[in-house]
């Protein structure tokens, strides 16, 4: 039973979808597929689940659900979560570095008064049908597609996300189960049932380039024009909402942001993922320039000689953190990130493809050290980066 998908049922009185984890013993439920009465099993040994009353019932919804039934249940579960205003955080792997983005723990969208999740929402012009759409006063605020056998290919309004039906159901129930287990520990609560808990969900949408902020900054030079956040500034207010107190967005140690942080709050960043006001403003405005903090302190970037690397060394470098800038002799070679192998902060970093990497020349040129570096990278020893959609 532990390996089976646990599908929900409908409350006979309200016709609302209910998961077996949150269902109540004093309520009556029916199958979401055949409409027959079902029994709720919430014992102490097996996981909570629904089952048909009669063994002669031919409906396979709870025992061996087919793809169409799994797809249906995933949509009902998603609609229920959204109508209950439960927070969802969709995440994916960066196309360049392969790591998961760091918006985990943050909702991909928030709710407004009047929001309603609607199944099979049809575009007014008949161009598309959404599995689940969050609609407010006739305006589509967000779309979530549930993959059955084929991914979504038709164009629809942003923002929209796509999930795998079976994996989505399992991910939600696993988080509920983990929360209930943790609540038995002294001092812990059933956090998954708290209104501010963010359910973590894999996004499988493939029709856009998904990059982490580090990769994003490395590939587009215009981000250097975004005003940096620094204690030396007279005005550090967010460039979009003008908020004065906030945590500024970091560039993931690529050195492409001014001061490694920009005058932008995370709330505005989430909203700007698809709107791209920042891109529109700073990718065309050539007058937005400012000296980085390290330049004001008298540090000097030194042109590096061309170095030759083996194919294996190049693959290693692609996985190592990029220095925000290289500090030379005037700064006593004190780098901002320690060498991944020897751990020293004072070293001459490796230069490759116009970037300095957090590994010293001595370590990368040593066979024993290279083997150790690869071992560390396999254990995900890497710099933190923040990811977003960048199409």
pLDDT in tens, the chain (391 residues): 445 788 999 999 999 999 998 889 889 999 999 999 999 888 776 778 899 887 777 899 988 899 999 999 999 999 999 999 999 988 877 665 555 544 445 688 889 999 999 999 999 888 999 999 999 999 999 999 999 888 888 888 888 999 999 999 999 999 998 888 888 887 788 888 889 898 989 888 877 666 654 455 555 667 778 888 888 888 999 999 999 998 888 765 556 677 778 898 877 876 666 567 777 788 765 444 443 333 333 333 333 444 567 888 888 888 888 887 666 544 456 777 888 887 877 777 888 877 788 888 778 876 677 778 887 777 654 434 333 333 3
State whether residue 10 is helix, strand or coil.
Answer: strand
Asked if residue 228 and residue 127 are part of one domain, the reply reads no
Asked if residue 290 and residue 159 are part of one domain, the reply reads no
* Count, residues in the chain: 391
184: Cα separation from own chain's centroid: 29
Residue 127: domain span:
77-175+189-202
* Residue 317 token pair: 């470098």
Q: Is 232 domain-assigned? A: yes
Q: Where are the alpha helices (DSSP H) in 43-124?
A: 67-83
Q: What are phi and psi of 76, to 5 degrees?
A: -65, -40
Instruction: Give the helix/strand (H/E) hosting 294.
Output: helix 293-296
Q: Is 4 domain-assigned? A: no
Q: Are 329 and 298 in contact (CB under 8 A)?
A: no
Q: Is 16 domain-assigned? A: yes
Query: Which of 18, 44, 65 is the C-terminal boundary of a domain?
Result: 65
Q: Is 182 domain-assigned? A: no
Asked if residue 26 and residue 129 are part of one domain, the reply reads no
* Residue 252 token pair: 């993931």
Number of domains in the chain: 3
Asked if residue 379 and residue 288 are part of one domain, the reply reads yes
Residues 6+ apart with CB under 8 A from 144: 78, 82, 88, 130, 131, 132, 133, 160, 161, 162, 163
CA distance 263 to 101: 21
Query: Which of 36, 65, 94 is the C-terminal boundary of a domain?
Result: 65
DSSP summary character for residue 7: -
Q: Is 381 domain-assigned? A: yes
Asked if residue 238 and residue 147 are part of one domain, the reply reads no
CB count within 10 Å of CB 292 equals 19
Asked if residue 230 and residue 164 are part of one domain, the reply reads no
């Amino acid at each position: 039973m532990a390996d089976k998908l646990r599908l929900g049922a409908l409350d006979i009185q309200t016709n609302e979808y209910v998961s077996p984890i949150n269902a109540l013993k004093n309520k009556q439920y029916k199958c979401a597929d055949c409409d027959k009465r079902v029994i709720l099993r919430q014992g102490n040994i097996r996981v909570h689940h629904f089952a048909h009353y009669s063994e002669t019932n031919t409906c396979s919804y709870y025992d061996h659900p087919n793809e169409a039934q799994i797809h249906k249940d995933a949509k009902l579960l998603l609609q229920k979560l959204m109508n209950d205003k439960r927070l969802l955080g969709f995440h994916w792997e960066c196309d360049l570095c392969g790591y998961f983005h760091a918006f985990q723990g943050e909702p991909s969208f928030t709710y407004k008064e009047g929001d309603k999740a609607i199944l099979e929402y049809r575009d007014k012009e008949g161009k598309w049908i959404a599995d689940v759409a969050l609609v407010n006063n006739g305006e589509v605020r967000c779309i979530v597609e549930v993959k059955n056998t084929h991914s979504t290919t038709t164009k629809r309004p942003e923002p929209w996300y796509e999930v795998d039906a079976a994996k989505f159901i399992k991910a939600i129930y696993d988080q509920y189960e983990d929360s209930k287990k943790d609540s038995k520990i002294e001092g812990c609560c059933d956090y998954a049932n708290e209104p501010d808990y963010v359910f973590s969900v894999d996004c499988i949408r493939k029709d856009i380039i998904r990059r982490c902020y580090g990769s994003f900054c490395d590939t587009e030079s215009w981000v250097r024009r975004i005003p940096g956040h620094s204690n030396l500034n007279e005005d550090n207010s967010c460039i979009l909402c003008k908020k004065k107190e906030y945590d500024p967005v970091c560039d993931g140690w690529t050195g492409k942001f001014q001061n490694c942080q920009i005058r932008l709050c995370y709330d505005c960043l989430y909203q700007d993922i698809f709107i791209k006001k920042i891109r529109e403003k700073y990718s065309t405005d050539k007058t937005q320039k400012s000296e980085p903090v390290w330049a004001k302190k008298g540090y000097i970037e030194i042109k590096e000689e061309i170095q030759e690397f083996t194919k294996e060394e190049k693959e290693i470098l692609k996985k190592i953190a990029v220095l925000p800038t290289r500090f030379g002799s005037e700064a006593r070679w004190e780098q901002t990130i320690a060498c991944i192998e020897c751990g020293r902060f004072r070293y001459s970093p490796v230069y490759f493809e116009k970037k300095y990497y957090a590994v010293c020349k001595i370590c990368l040129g040593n066979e024993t050290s290279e083997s150790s570096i690869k071992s560390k990278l396999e254990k995900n020893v890497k710099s933190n980066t923040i990811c977003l959609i960048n199409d």
